[in-house]
Amino acid sequence: MHTPASNHPSAHGLVSAATVRSPSPQDHRVQRSNLDRKAHQILKELIVTRQLAPGDKIPQEKLAADLGISRTPLVNALKLLEKENLVEARPRRGYYVRTFGTREMIAVFELREVLEGLAARKASEVIMPVQSERLRRFFQAFSANEPIIDLAAYAQEDEAFHSFVIEIAGHAFLREVLASHDVVHVSYQTTATAGLMRPPAETIGEHRAIIEAVCSRDAAAAERSMRLHLANTLVALHRTLAAEARDHAVPSPPGA
């Protein structure tokens, strides 16, 4: 006569009754926290890589289904991304990937010029050989003598480069200030091509000058090169702002 397997658990599947317990409220909190963190990480990656571009509506139902989670952790993740200035809530319309205007970008790059200049200086003072090797590998896939066609790839390299310089600096308070408003990521939240403020032909030489200064442990040159790089972007942004003002200027009536 066949005996049900449930009456005779195998040695491999045997679980002591002492190890079985009901999940505690703390277990549920940890699980919810993990889901929130997972949703935040995935959403942020979609935004940073521009799979969700500035101005796009966040498809909450589809994302929740794709991730296999409920709407609650997704909404919690969106609220955190809103604090990081990467999304915005529109009443009765949902969440959208935030787009930054030219004036806002000028404010962001003014902050970056000062803080990342300091980061470059600090990085040059503490850089380790293994970090120097990695830093020198940035932009090797791109030639300064040939047109750079893959702007999305260049933009990702650009962002990773700036983030790595900040990481090398190892300045906890500086990193916290930049991370609190996600300043580097925010810089790419524009409708400009692939999020780039200037074409690669203008910036690749500047990037390589920063790399050389940091790896050579030349603190003054590292700060100067980084600040010049970001100041040049500010010049371009101010030109854009002036052009926008002209485009929106109200023409004077005839004979005025």
Identify the band that residue 255 occupies on the pLDDT scale cut at 50, 70 and 90: low
Longest dimension (CA), the chain: 108
Does domain 28-97 match CATH 1.10.10.10?
yes
Q: Angle at Cα 178 formed by Cα 160 and Cα 34, nearest 5°?
A: 75
Q: What is the pTM of this model?
A: 0.75
Identify the band that residue 125 occupies on the pLDDT scale cut at 50, 70 and 90: very high
Domain ranges (residues) in the chain? 28-97, 102-247
Cα separation, 254 vs 256, in Å, equals 5
On average, the pLDDT of the chain sits at 85
| DSSP assigned state of 18 | G
> What mean pLDDT comes out for the span 153-158?
94
Identify the band that residue 185 occupies on the pLDDT scale cut at 50, 70 and 90: confident
Matching fold, domains 28-97 and 102-247: no
Kindly report which listed range (13-17, 87-91, 154-158) carries the lowest average pLDDT score.
Answer: 13-17
- pLDDT on residue 48: 84
Identify the band that residue 106 occupies on the pLDDT scale cut at 50, 70 and 90: very high
- Which tens digits make up the pLDDT trace of 10-54? 343 333 343 444 444 444 444 566 888 899 999 998 998 889 988
Cα separation, 133 vs 11, in Å, equals 52
CB 111 within 8 A of CB 186: no
Cα separation, 127 vs 211, in Å, equals 11
CATH number of 102-247: 1.20.120.530
- pLDDT on residue 253: 61
Kindly report which listed range (41-50, 121-130, 235-244) carries the lowest average pLDDT score.
Answer: 41-50
